[in-house]
Structure 1
Amino acid sequence: MKKLKIGLVLFAGTFAFQELTAQNISGKLVDENNQPLPYANVVLLSLPDSTFISGTISNENGSFTLQATSEKQIVRISSIGYATIYKPIHPTDMGIVQLTSDAQLLGEVIVKGNLPVTRMKGDAMVTSVENSVLSKTGSANDVLGKIPGITKTQDSYEVFGKGTPLIYINGRKLNDLTELEQLNADEIKNVEVIRNPGSRYDATVKAVIRIQTVKRQGEGFGFNLRSSYYQSKNTDWIEQANLNYRHHDLDIFGSIYFSNMKYIQDYTVILKKRGTQE
């Protein structure tokens, strides 16, 4: 009888280990011309609540690798200008994955020449914003949510594999994320993502986002109004007035901001055992 009990315990322990063992998910992303697609976001989400688990970006050759830790996970692949796709974690080797142009984005007005360019510059991954489709997205909040290597949560940002970053605008550290709503997208020149900040920052800092703005012209008082409206199953809107005063090196700005946002998730998940048919 004692031998039977021991055998059951060992079996249960082995089963739990197999369930929790990480599996490498890999693949290669290409565009419609079968050219490698670098700097695309590849994110692992849990099922059924779509919670962010981990993420990575495709390299210069379009290849990517990340680890799944549960059978109840799915991969989301996205890149600016391309339709977002979802892939199951099996098979773990996804092979060649082709992304197609987002017809809604790349219309008669917006063409591929307007897509932002991402490149490595020293220790930073730099994404251009000025004169690209990102400059028309609204505010800095909207821009950061589309930058490679960054995921946007309901009230913060996370750099893949590094956690919550420090955010700077023109070398000034942000103390409140609401300041990002005061910066219009068309005022941003580029966004730098630094995954290994080094000795320039405190040892506790694991990642840094640096936003560089377009050089502002003119002096005196200025203002602009921004209104955003989103319609899906619910209605969301943002109303904002920005005020600014510039004189020589002095640049003072402020804003009045109101938003009404609702978050609704609606999804259907079908899990099938291997070997079963439709």
Structure 2
Amino acid sequence: MTILDGKALSNKIKEEVKADVVKLQKEKGVTPGLAVVLVGSDPASAAYVNMKSKACKEAGIYSIVHEMPDTISQDKILEILAMMNKNPNIDGILVQLPLPKHVDTTAILEAIAPKKDVDGFHAYNTGRMNLGLDSFIPATPYGVMELLKEYNIDPQGKDVCVVGASNIVGKPMSTLLLNANATVTTCHIYTKNLKEHTLKADIICVGVGKVNLITEDMVKDGAIVVDIGINRLDNGKLVGDVDYEKVAPKCSYITPVPGGVGPMTIAMLLKNTIKAAKLREESKLND
């Protein structure tokens, strides 16, 4: 059993990003910029935003966080996004989800300029990704694909079961694996017999936020298990969606939680921000 070490790979990617930033500053006089919109005071969201800001600082990326009360109107958020879209110093914009109930998440995500959509949630980027064209890819599924690549795991021809069908993780994960020529089954809350699907899978990717959803009897010997879930137990311990202690001995590869997919998400966000900065420079040359 080999552990898929997301922490080590994310550190490697962050160093590459840092080198890219230095190169952009030296050759073009450009410092990539990322703006984060945080609405409300959800502790988990605030923690994620702090981690993103810290990672940006370490990589040399200019980072700004717009904190807003959860009572803010949708129109005001749209106004701020319009301002960011026009700001030439900002290459990437991301809105930390979830948003308060009175705000239409789709309308907010659609208001971000596609060329600044480093989260890859805009319909433009989603459409291009579905067609296998160059686009901004959502950071978590992108991180999973990079992790598989790092360990020379080729999804081509493999039976893959993706558990979870959110627009942020499950659907893009299924799409990327399908684009990599895997045979993909997507399971969700209405799937009748989850075990029937996971038992056949060479690769299982799970991200629904339910402790011990994937148990030892649901995984075949030699399977590759990618745990995207993150849950905090009452004692403060972080765990995924997989019963790690019992499932790991059956696997050929498995991601730990923490230290697996989590660090990769932030690394790929930085990579997307650098990509946006490079695209900005290219568009200047073409103007």
User: Taking structure 1 as the reference length, what is the TM-score of the superposition?
Assistant: 0.25
Q: TM-score, normalised by structure 2?
A: 0.24
Structure number with bigger Rg: 1
Q: Which is helix-richer, 1 or 2?
A: 2
Structure number with the higher strand fraction is: 1
